[in-house]
Amino acid sequence: MKDVTVADVRNFVLLGHSGSGKTTLTDAMLFKMGVNDRQGSVDNGSSMADYTDEEKSRKITIYAKPFSGVHASGGRKTAMVFCDTPGFADFFGQVILAGRIANAAVVVVDANAGVQVGTARGWKQADQLELPRAVVVTGLDRENASFARVLAELQEKWGARCVPVTLPAAGGNGVVDVLSSAAPAPDVAEAVQAAKGSLVELAAETDDTLIEKYLAGEPLSADELAAGLRRAVLERKLVPVFACLPPKGVGIQEFLDGVARLFPSPLDRPIKDAEGRPINPAADAPFVGFIWRMVNDPFIGQLAFLYVCGGTLKPDMDILNATKDQKERIAVLGEFNGKKQGTVESACAGQIVALSKLKFTGLGDTLCAAAHKTLLAPFKFPNPVAWAAIAAKTQGDEDKIGVALQRVAEEDPTIKVERSKDTHEMVLSGMGDTHIAVTVEKMKRRSNVDVTLSTPKVPYKETVTAKGEGHYKHKKQSGGRGQFGEVYLRVDPLPPGETEWFVDAIVGGAIPGNFLPAVQKGLVEGMSRGCVAGYPVVNVRVTVYDGSYHEVDSSEISFKIAGSRAFRDGMSKAKPVLLEPIMTVRVMVPDQFMGDVNGDLSHKRGRIMGMETADGMQVIVAEAPQAELFHYCAELRSMTGGRGTFEMEFNRYEVVPSNVAQKVIAEAEKNKKEEEE
Ligand SMILES: Nc1nc2c(ncn2[C@@H]2O[C@H](COP(=O)(O)OP(=O)(O)O)[C@@H](O)[C@H]2O)c(=O)[nH]1
Ligand SMILES: [Mg+2]
């Protein structure tokens, strides 16, 4: 974009339920602004926005992507910068990324389906970010579509501030602009009149002198009305509603006109730094920018997408990465519309540029003029809600998985990989099963590693509940020098608060002091695989109180073996039990699902600890075993039509009830046999 002034930049993010038409609207806008010479379509794979293989094969948006173009209307040029985002809950991380750099939100609502789960999720995110917003009602041609019905629903949910600025007309093949001076067709005249009345009133209410004028029955001038409307949108007292039929390009011109007229520019809404101080958005202020998107492109290499918060970025400037405290060099400012790439000579507030070959910069970093260090707050993402153990299909590919996943995680901070030190599995976690599946697919395509996914193993542990005596005499005579070591010990529960698990109660040198470390080593080994199902043993105390040795045959290895076996003997007599991790779960659901969710949790051996309400939702706090929760995300979504969400964290270990323990033990024995074969 050339010759753009900050005041003429409009920057917004598209939010809404999956399938509501956000991407189709994106393609329609790009075509209207001449960025594309035909209108791309999600359905035939020609969309400029949903262009990645994983998006094309699923026909859904997976990544938030930036677009830009110039909208010319009435002799005025406006730079439109906007992000298309996924509506699917699994990819909400992308909404968090794009939301951070938006000056306004456009919530897309389908005229048949109305407000859906994803619509409400997007709206809530916009609320949290305090974003001014508009609604675009799409799908006017769909069966049972009704603009009037959706408008009523919007007003019921989000107030009378939702007022149409364009209305469907001409049997759905056109729209009328409520504020246009042309006389509306008779069939819409009444609706136009009502909307105009509401708009004028909301505009007047933003200013004391205007409201006086309005109440005195004087008309507002065109300039007063325009300024009042913009202020009302900025203050979130007006949510303009637009009617569109994106596949046919109907209402797009009017929508872009509306954005140019009504939306704030970056000058109206300065971004705040980490301390809450506004960053000066003016073009001549010191440069500050924020990295909100990273892409590891197999052909281009790594691209860092930067949002300019203030000042003007030009190539070859002295740039500081304030997050890493490192100087960076910038050669070229890239501009991307999907795959289509170009370059720009400079970028001001509200614009997005792609930077390549940065040395230190990652997602969430702040770049700024070296002489004016500024830092923005880092991103915050929700905790994972879905987990899968991941293993290489081909032996030897394990290292490749690690590297490939790390590259994916650089782009997508809601994907996490961890090697469990308890189960030794590599566990991939994310925002849902589809998120994990897409990640694996992407990894395969880019790094050519094939993996298998499975339910992660539960990190069971074992302990004892009573006192047990253990004894082992290790004696071996095989030709030359033999082996000899004998250990007597007692195993009992480690008293709460104590950490000293080993007690030396040997008297009279029954086991010489120099062999005690070997005995201890044997105990540690014994504790690494308990006698119940071979899981690590915790919270036990071992008192070694007697033993015997042989002048010649005793050795470290003999005592290590004796220690390990004596422990096993003692533990098996000390009423050993299996322990499992218990999680604290917070489930957020609308009222009507309370019964189902509570019932299901009890079914999962859960205990309801409390209930509260927050944000108009019921919050159920429960404790339940981790073993029952690996697939809770999918189960809760299907139980609640996607409206329930949850978070969970580890709480403590608890004894596994014996009927469940029997199954775990049987499974462990089966696995052991398989290993031995
Ligand atoms: N009939 C009709 N179909 C639409 C309209 N807008 C989008 N679609 C279709 O709805 C489906 C989902 O659209 P898409 O833009 O991918 O939705 P998104 O998930 O919100 O990005 C696609 O098959 C589109 O062709 C519309 O206004 N009318
Ligand atoms: Mg989409």
Ramachandran angles phi, psi of 609, nearest 5°: -100, -25
87 lines ligand 1 (CB under 6 A): yes
Give the Å distance between the CA of 532 and the centre of ligand 2: 51
Ligand 1 center to residue 24 CA distance, Å? 6
- Residue in 654, 509, 474, 512 with CA at minimum distance from that of residue 579: 654
Find out whether the beta carbon of 581 lies less than 6 Å from any atom of ligand 1: no
Ligand 1, atom 5: closest residue by C-alpha: 139
- Which residue from 15, 24, 61 has its CB within 8 A of the most atoms of ligand 1, so it is best to mutate? 24
pLDDT recorded at residue 186? 87
Tell me: domain 462-574, CATH 3.30.230.10, correct?
yes
| Segments of the chain assigned to CATH 2.40.30.10 | 288-369
| 94 and 381 Cβ atoms separated by less than 8 Å | no
Q: Alpha-carbon torsion 274, 280, 286, 289, what sign?
A: positive
Closest ligand 1 atom number to CA of residue 27: 15
Q: Is 21 in the pocket of ligand 1 (CB under 6 A)?
A: yes
In this structure, what token pair is assigned to residue 477? 């005579």
Report the separation in Å between the CA atom of 84 and the middle of ligand 2, taken as the mean of its atom positions.
7
Match domain 288-369 to its CATH number in 3.40.630.30, 3.30.1360.120, 2.40.30.10, 3.30.70.1140.
Answer: 2.40.30.10
* Cβ atoms of residues 364 and 379 within 8 Å: yes
From the CB of 36, is ligand 1 less than 6 Å away?
Answer: no
Q: Which atom of ligand 1 is nearest to the CA of 244?
A: 27
Ligand nearest 112 Cα, by number? 1
Query: What radius of gyration, in Å, describes the C-alpha atoms of the chain?
Result: 32
What pLDDT sits at residue 302? 92
Return the ligand 1 atom nearest residue 14 CA.
20
Of ligand 1's listed atoms, the one at least distance from the Cα of 59 is 16
The DSSP code sequence of 381-413 is -PPP-EEEEEEESSTT-HHHHHHHHHHHHHH-T
Is the C-beta atom of 248 inside 6 A of ligand 1? no
589, β-bridge pairs: 618
Q: Ligand 1 centre from 166 Cα, in Å? A: 20
What's the CATH number for 6-179+238-262?
Answer: 3.40.50.300
Residues of the chain with pLDDT under 50: none
Does the CB atom of residue 474 touch ligand 1 within 6 A? no
pLDDT digits (tens, 9 = 90+) for 512-550: 999 999 999 999 999 999 999 999 999 999 999 999 999
**β strands within 477-616, DSSP E:** 483-493, 502-504, 540-548, 576-589, 607-614
Q: Whose CA is nearest to atom 4 of ligand 1?
A: 139
Find the 47 Cα to ligand 2 centroid distance in Å: 10
C-beta separation of 70 from 30 below 8 A: no
Q: Is the CB of 19 inside a 6 Å radius of any atom of ligand 1?
A: yes
Give long-range contacts, CB 8 A cutoff, 24+ apart: 419-422. Answer: 420/456, 420/457, 420/459, 422/459, 422/461, 422/536
Q: Kindly list the distances between the CA atom of residue 362 and the CA atoms of 379, 391, 439, in Å, as whole numbers in the listed order.
A: 12, 27, 19
**DSSP structural state of residue 476:** E
Q: Ligand 2: distance of its center to the CA of 46 in Å?
A: 13
In angstroms, the CA 73 to CA 76 distance is: 5
CB-count burial class (<10 Å; 0-12, 13-18, 19+) for 455 = exposed
pTM metric for this prediction? 0.90
CATH number of 386-454: 3.30.70.870
Q: How far apart are CA 631 and CA 629, in angstroms?
A: 5
CB-ligand 1 contact for 61 (6 Å cutoff): yes
In this structure, which residue's CA is closest to atom 9 in ligand 1?
A: 21
- Ligand 1 in contact with 24 (CB < 6 A)? yes
Atom of ligand 1 nearest to the CA of 88: 19
- Domain boundaries for CATH 3.30.230.10 within the chain: 462-574
Per-residue pLDDT at 1: 59
Task: Identify the residue whose tokens are 């290489």.
Answer: 392
The Å distance, Cα 118 to ligand 1 centre, comes to 15
What is the model's pLDDT at position 39?
97
99 lines ligand 1 (CB under 6 A): no
Confidence (pLDDT) at 181: 77
How much of the chain exceeds pLDDT 70, in percent? 100
Residue 139 near ligand 1, beta carbon < 6 Å: yes
Question: What residue's CA is closest to ligand 1, atom 23?
Answer: 43
- Among 20, 27, 42, 144, say which to mutate for ligand 1: greatest number of ligand atoms within 8 Å of CB: 42
CA of residue 509 to ligand 2 center, whole Å? 76
Closest-approaching ligand to the CA atom of 27: 1
Return the bridge partners of 72, or none: 77
355 contacts 308 by C-beta, under 8 angstroms: no
Is there a contact between 611 and 565 (Cβ–Cβ < 8 Å)?
no
Ligand in nearest proximity to the CA of 44: 1
Predicted pLDDT of residue 280: 97
**Ligand with smallest separation from the Cα of 139:** 1
Q: Which atom of ligand 1 is nearest to the CA of 138?
A: 27
Q: What pLDDT, on a 0 to 100 scale, did the predictor assign at position 97?
A: 97
Residue that has been written with the tokens 């100087």 in this structure: 327
Q: Kindly give the distance from the C-alpha atom of residue 139 to the centroid of ligand 1, in angstroms, as a whole number.
A: 7
Distance 60 CA to ligand 2 centre (A): 5
Q: Is the minimum distance from the CB of 245 to ligand 1 under 6 angstroms?
A: yes
**Which tokens hold the place of 41?**
């379509």
Q: Say which residues have a Cβ less than 8 Å from residue 325's Cβ, sequence separation at least 6.
A: none
Residue with tokens 């001014």: 132
Tokens at 644, concatenated? 């329930």
Q: Which atom of ligand 1 lies at the shortest distance from residue 18's CA?
A: 19
Distance 19 CA to ligand 1 centre (A): 6
Task: Give Cα separations from 508 to 490, 513, 546 (angstroms).
Answer: 18, 10, 9
Does the beta carbon of 168 sit less than 6 angstroms from any atom of ligand 1? no
Please give the span between the terminal C-alpha atoms of the chain, in angstroms, as a whole number: 68
Q: How much is the pLDDT for 185?
A: 85
CA angle 229, 116, 129 (to 5 degrees): 50
Residues of the chain with CATH 3.30.70.870: 386-454
What torsion do the CA atoms of 147, 150, 151, 154 make, to the nearest 10 degrees? -160
Q: Note the Cα 414 to chain centre separation in Å.
A: 4
Distances (CA, A) of 666 to 80, 660, 662, 669, 671: 63, 10, 6, 5, 9
Centre of ligand 1 from the C-alpha of residue 21, in Å:
4
Task: Give 648's strand partners.
Answer: 585
Asked whether 142 lines ligand 1 (CB < 6 A), one says yes
Query: 578-660: which CATH topology?
Result: Alpha-Beta Plaits (3.30.70)
Rounded distance from Cα 29 to ligand 1 centre (Å): 14
State how far the alpha carbon of 558 is from the alpha carbons of 98, 543, 564, in Å: 64, 19, 10
In the chain, residues under CATH classification 3.40.50.300 are 6-179+238-262
* Atom 6 of ligand 1, residue of closest alpha carbon: 21
Compute the distance from residue 126 Cα to the ligand 1 centre, in Å: 22
- Using the mean position of ligand 1's atoms as its centre, give its distance from the Cα of residue 586 in Å: 34
